[in-house]
Each structure stands twice: as structure tokens, then as C-alpha cells.
Chain A
Amino acid sequence: MVRPENTLNRVVAVAKSWFSISPKWNKYLPERIIKTVLFLCSIVSIFTTIGIVSVLIFEAALFFQEVSIFEFLTGTKWTPLFASKRFGILPLVTGTLLTSVGAMFVALPLGLLSAIYLSEYAPDRLRRILKPILEVLAGVPTVVYGYFALLFVTPILRSIADQVSFVEISVFNGLSASIVMGIMILPMVSSLSEDAMRSAPRSLREGAYALGSTKLEVSTRVVIPAALSGIVAAFILSMSRAIGETMIVTVAAGQNPNFTLNPFVPIETMTAYIVQVSLGDTPTGTLAFKTIFAVGLSLFVITLAMNLFSQFIVRRFREVYE
């Protein structure tokens, strides 16, 4: 039989042993407390992840009690805020795909060429000036890019289209958002690729030069293949960033969930939809409001999968040089 005072003694003993591993326990007690506090700081990030995953899954589960997952994933009409509600996410997916792939069409060539220039061509002094300026582009708040896309790039595109008069471009369109988003993620592509290129060893380059290669041949046939895993990872990471980007597409691409890949008409991305609902007067707890959790969960899963994939590529395919 366990007597209460025995239990108490045990607790006290355990507490004593926990706090004092040596006779000089008054010196080590603060150390232990500090260690515990620091440990608690480090698991905040774990709780953040648990919080994100459980909030999204719990609320999305409530949503999927009323809407079938099949309809959600395959439907081509998205009208949760209208009287006749349809819950097919595909229009938001095509909108997101259109703007993020479009952004990569801008960011990948420009970013890669900039990275080659910085890593292979630029003299050191020029590089030290150019790189921070390029990084300013990454530090500009996204709402500023939204302003730029809607009020600077779109009017230019529209006047060009007027003169060519073979397409008409709406005030809100995917094209302008894509171009500006491409400029926004360009520094990410270029600085990650440049890091990968610079980690290719000098001896490889010098070997190629010794065989009579030109700088172009060294860059494209030696440095890029050596850095390929890093470049691919940079590409995926930047694409994932573009998918999660919100303000540029909200401001410049419109709020019309069209099931289309036409870059000249208004569309809506997943992120822009979440903002639209948050700004509107949809009461919390309604089915229409719960859509943001289902859309948020989809967004989270897509970006997480891409981030994990890029980490996998770096680990699996990295060329290691001694």
C-alpha cells in the first residue's frame, strides 16, 4: 500500500535530484532554470507548426463535412460568396498557376543570367555594389509591388495592346501581376543560384580554362552543371514563394475566379481569395467563411511539398567536391 507521505517524499526526492546534481546546487540551480527557459523558447516553433496544422485541418474538416472533397478538388466553378454556391477550387488553382508560372518565366532567365554575371563575370568591386542593390528588390514590401503592377505596368501593357490591337487587356489581369512578381522573386533566384555557382570549386573552372575554354563555355558547361542541384532547388523555392505571394495578385490580378489560363483577363488566386473573404462581411462560422481554411490548407500543402522537395533535391543531388 502506498502511503501519502511516502508519495510526498518521493516527489520531494525527485524534485531535489532534478534541481541539484551536485552539492554546489545553488550554483547550478540557475543554470538549470536557464536551460529550461531556453528549451521552452525553442519549442515555440514546434507549437507554431502544430497550431498551423491543427487549425487548418480542424476547420477544413468542418468544411468537408458539408462539401465533398471530390467536388472541391475537381469542380471548375468557385462561387462560395454567391447565392448559388459552388465549391470547385480549380479556378483558384489555375489562377495561382498562371501567375506563379508566369513569374518564373520572368525570374528564371533574368535571375539565372544575373547570377552568372555576378558569379563569373563581375569584377569583385562591381559585385559588391550590385548585389546589395539587387537585394533591395527582395526587401520592397509586396503591397508596393501591387501598386507598381496596377498603376504602372498595367497601363503600359494596355497601351501596347491598344496599338497592336490584336488582344485586349483588362485593368485586372494575370500578366501584369506575373511580370511584377517575377521581378520580386528575381533576387531570390539569383542569390540562391549564385551561392550554388560560387560553391563550385575553382579548380574545375581552371581545368576547363586550361583546355582552352572561353568564359561562356566554362559558365554553361562546367559551372551550371556543377551547381545544377542548387539552381533547381532555388527554382522550386522561388516558385513556392510565388504561389504563396498575396498582395501583388490581390491588387493587380483581380477577384474573378475564372477557370482559364488566359493572362489578359481578370483571375483570382488562392491567396487573393482568402484576402477577399477576410475583407468582406462574410460572417464567421458560415460555410462561405470556412472555405478560407480549405483554401488555406491547400495552399499550405502545396508550398510545404515544394519546400520539402527542394530540400530533398539539395540533399540527394548535390555534387560534393573535396
Chain B
Amino acid sequence: MAVISQGEFRRRMNRRKLEGHIFHALCLLAILIALSMLGALLLNIASEGIMRVNWSFITSFPSRHPEQAGIQAALLGSIYVVTLAGALAFIFGVGAAIYLEEYAARNWFARIIQINISNLAGVPSIVYGILGLEIFVRYLALGKSVIAGGLTLALLALPIVIIASEEAIRAVPSSIREGGYALGATRWQAIWNLVLPQAFPGILTGVILAVSRAIGETAPLIVMGALTFVPFAPDSPLSRFTVLPIQIFNWVSRPQEGFHQAAAAGIIVLLVLLLSMNAVAVLLRNKFQNRLEG
């Protein structure tokens, strides 16, 4: 092994330290670039759109005149479709997660379902739109309706809910179940009374995550056949509809400056909606956690 003089060692050490500092700065720079992009995006949208956000914007229907255009139809459409999708994804997703975690034998069938779910989570959302168009709109003849849209988004949200709920259920220690069995509980009684309350905060987080993804989805609903110009509020599960992201897309695609401002205003409403949903999730989670611990 080569021996180097103390001076040489110090010189090399200083160089290595300098390289380290440069690398540290580079890493910090990368994260700052990402954050400043987020900042630029939010500032740009706020400065373009905040003037247009007011009560008449929320309660008006779309219009050919950008300054009169509003989002009532799109907002209602989004709320209906996403509520339906969220409810369905919650019921089927949690049911599936309970079966997979608590009942299914660890055999080839369970493994296939597991692999299948993780692959479904990676399918591009637009493919779900094609599925919705063929199965719900055409085959089940639901038309390009609120129900068909809700079902399409429910399928899209399902893998997210299942994966999150499975993790939440898995995190419940088995001693809790065994305590229940020892007191004579059946399997379902143990799950319903002991496991689910413990897993609920985690499940809830997963559902909110899935719903916030569904509320921002544009492509699957366009492919499924949601409208882009809706001058009426959807009044029945079978009526045609549009959603907020599609309305925003429609305004962005137009050349007039005024519609771009309307798009920015629509984005503000969408982001506020997303943010408040996430805030509710955090609040609910904290509340349930406190109750369980307290």
C-alpha cells in the first residue's frame, strides 16, 4: 500500500471535502428546482385566475363569452361522479382487502389476485376510459351518464383503495384478533369489532387518496364520452355530464385569453377542493387515532 505524505493527504482530503460540499449543494439545488416549479405553477395560476373566482363564476353555466362563463355544471358533475366512485371503491375495495388479508389462503389464487391488483394500479387511466366506454356505456347501455362515469372512476380508484386498506389491516397485530377469538368471537365479529376500528384511519387515508386522484382525472372520462360543453346541471343518474377537469381542459384549448383566465379560476376551485378533502382526511384520521389511543 502506497504511503503518502501528510501534506499530500491534506490536499486530497480538502479536495474530497470540496467535492462533497459541491454535491451537497447540487442535491439541495435539485430539490429547490422542484419546489420552485411548484411555486411558479401555483403563483401563475393564482395571479391569472383569482380575479375570476367569485360566486357568479361558481353558479354560472359555461358560455361563449369568457367573462360570463362559469362552472356550475362541471362542479356538480364532479361532485356526483366522484361521490359515486368513492362510495363504490370504498365498499368493494375494503371488502376485497378484508377477504385478501383475513380469509384468503396463501395459495396461488391469492397470489394471482395480488399480482393482478398491483398491475391494475399501473394501467394508464385512459385505458380505463376505453373499458368504461365499452362495458358501461355500450354493453350495459347506461349511456354516457353520471352512473357510467362513476363506475369507470370507481374501477380506476379500486386498486389504490385495496392496496391502502390491505396495508392498514396488515398493520393490526394478530394478538388483537386472538384476544377476540379467546372471548368466543367468530371471525367476522373479530374483524368487525376489533380489526376494522384499528385499521380505519389507514383505510380512510387510502380512500381519500383514491378520491383525490379520481377528482383530477380527465382522460378516462373524455374517452368514456363525457361532454365538454354542458349548459345544464345533471339532474338524474342517467343524465349526461361534464366534470371540472374537462371544463378546464376545454377552456385551456381555446385561443382567447379570457378563457385561459376562466381555466385558471377553475383550477383554483379544483385545487381548493382537493386541498380541503385532504385536510378533512387528516382531521378525521387524527380524531380516530385519538379515540383509539384515549
Binding site for B on A (CB under 8 A): 27-28, 30-31, 34-35, 37-46, 48-49, 51-52, 55-56, 59, 109-111, 113-114, 116-118, 121, 130, 133-134, 136-137, 139-148, 150-152, 183, 186-187, 190, 214-217, 219-220, 237, 240-241, 243-247, 250-251, 271, 274-275, 278-279, 284, 292-293, 296, 299-300, 303-304, 307-308, 311
Question: Main secondary structure on chain B at its contact with chain A?
Answer: helix
**A136 — nearest CB in chain B belongs to which residue?**
B38
> What CA separation (Å) do A216 and B124 show in the bound complex?
37
Contact indicator A246/B28 (Cβ below 8 Å): no
Known: A56-B130, A274-B130. A244 touches B252 (CB 8 A): no
**Cβ contact of A304, chosen from B27, B37, B119, cutoff 8 A:** B119
Indicate whether B134 reaches chain A with its CB closer than 8 angstroms: yes
A247 CB contact (under 8 Å) in B33, B103, B213, B219 = B219
Most buried by B among A48, A190, A304: A48
Residue contact B130 to A293, C-beta cutoff 8 Å = yes
Separation of A297 and B184 alpha carbons in the complex (Å): 52
| Contact call A134/B35, Cβ cutoff below 8 A | yes
Q: In the complex the two chains form, what is the Cα distance from A146 to B251 in whole Å?
A: 12
Contact of A246 with B126 at beta-carbon distance under 8 Å, contacts A136-B38, A147-B45, A217-B16 already known: yes
Report the nearest B residue to A293, measured CB to CB.
B130
Q: Which of B54-62, B94-102, B233-241 contacts A (4 or more CB under 8 A)?
A: B94-102
Q: Is the CB of B40 within 8 A of A152?
A: yes
A292 vs B124: C-alpha distance in the bound complex, in angstroms?
A: 14
Can you name 20 A-B pairs with beta carbons within 8 Å?
Answer: A28-B186, A45-B96, A45-B158, A121-B27, A133-B38, A134-B34, A139-B274, A139-B278, A143-B245, A144-B270, A152-B40, A183-B37, A215-B23, A216-B24, A237-B122, A246-B125, A251-B253, A274-B223, A299-B124, A300-B124
Give bound CA distance, A38 to B165, whole Å: 14
Q: Which residues of A contact B216 (CB under 8 A)?
A: 139-144
For B, the interface residue count at a CB cutoff of 8 angstroms equals 84
**CB <8 Å contact, B252 and A150:** yes
B236-283: which have CB < 8 Å to A? 245, 248-249, 252-253, 260, 263-264, 267, 270-271, 274, 278
- Chain B CB count within 10 A is highest, among A45, A274, A311, for A45
